[in-house]
Amino acid sequence: HMKDIFKAFQQCSLNNLRVVILGQDPYPQKDVATGIAFANSLDTPEKSYSPSLNILMESVIDFTVPHRRIIFDQSLEKWEAQGVLMLNSARTCELGKPGSHALLWRPFINSFLSNLSMQYTAIVYVLMGSQAQSFEYAIVRNNYVIKAKHPSYYARTKTRMPSDIWKQVNDILININGFGIQWYEES
């Protein structure tokens, strides 16, 4: 929906910004993209999560260790509320055509990352996939950059996304200001 193009910016306050997770482009299927990268709407049942969101969830929670009851917010708005900007390097695409607007959005994302990283130096940037990583040059050196494969790679190859990315982000954040991101809730 057109109203959701800048939703990620509305959900995550600049004063609170601590992490930028950069993906590729919105889900190209009708009524799936929410304006927040990788997210699904709150009314999406877990069995219907998008493959990339499933990969992120499994990586963040790390099901190889025992947990009590887990609450995972598929809208990713709880991440955004903690200062995690979930952004795609293209804010739009044509239905059924991923990457179709990548060049259109490139100057906007480039300028955003460049200006943000010049003004704020304690932000962790997680660049997921080669398209996101092509913006690394726009991020000023005094920032933290973590590169990872795009979750769709793990969905395609039926492999697990390493969970150490989330620990790495939190280790940096704890070093900077004493607390990390709560990626999921456990009750």
Q: Catalytic positions, please?
A: 25
* 113 Cβ contact partners less than 8 Å away, ≥ 6 residues apart: 20, 22, 125, 135, 138, 139
- Residue tagged 């940096």 (tokens): 172
**Cβ atoms of residues 51 and 126 within 8 Å:** no
DSSP 161: P
CA distance 174 to 178: 4
Q: Phi/psi class of residue 99: alpha, beta or left (left: φ > 0; alpha: ψ in -120 to 50)? A: left
CA distance 120 to 104: 26
Q: Helix (H, G, I), strand (E, B), or coil: what is residue 125?
A: strand
